Amino acid sequence: MIILLIVTGFLIINVALGLFGVLWYNINKRRSEIGLRRAVGASGNSISKQLVGEALVLSTISLLIGSFFAIQFPLMNVFDLATSTYLIAWMLALAFIYVLVIICALYPGRQAAAIYPAVALHEE
C-alpha cells in the first residue's frame, strides 16, 4: 500500500508540475495581450480571475470527455462494485482535479496580474 501511495503522489506531482508549466508558458506567450488589458484599465485581480477561469473551462471540457468513459465502468459492471461506489469516487476525483487546477493556476495568474502595461507593450 505504501508503494502505491508513493507512486500516486509522484504522479500527482508530475501532473501538477506539467499543468503549472503549461499555464506559465501560456501567460508568457500572452504578455502583450495581458499588458494591453492592464493598459486599458483591467485590474490585476480580474486578469488573475480570467486566467484561472480559462484553466477551469479547459479542465471542464476535458473532464466531460473523461467522464463519458468513466461512466462506462458502472454501466458494464466491470469490477462488480456498487454503482454508488463509482459515483462517489467519480465525484471525489472531479473535486480533486478542480482543486488541483485552481492551485496550479493561482500563481501564474498572480504573475500575470503583476505585469506592468508599459513593460509588456514595450517588449512587443
> pTM for the complete prediction?
0.84
Nearest to 19 by CA among 47, 54, 45: 54
Whole-angstrom Cα Rg for the chain? 19
Which residues are CB-contacts of 100 (< 8 A; sequence separation ≥ 6)?
Answer: 12, 15, 16, 19
112 in Cβ contact with 34 (< 8 Å): yes
Distances (CA, A) of 30 to 37, 62, 71, 83: 11, 22, 37, 44
Predicted pLDDT of residue 77: 85
Predicted pLDDT of residue 123: 66
Q: Note down the domain range covering 43.
A: 2-123
Question: C-alpha angle 68/72/76, rounded to 5°?
Answer: 170
CA distance 117 to 35: 4
Q: How many domains does the chain have?
A: 1
Predicted pLDDT of residue 124: 63
In tens digits, the chain (124 residues) has pLDDT values of 999 999 999 999 999 999 999 988 988 888 888 888 888 888 889 989 999 999 999 999 999 999 999 989 888 888 888 889 999 999 999 999 999 999 999 988 888 888 888 777 776 6
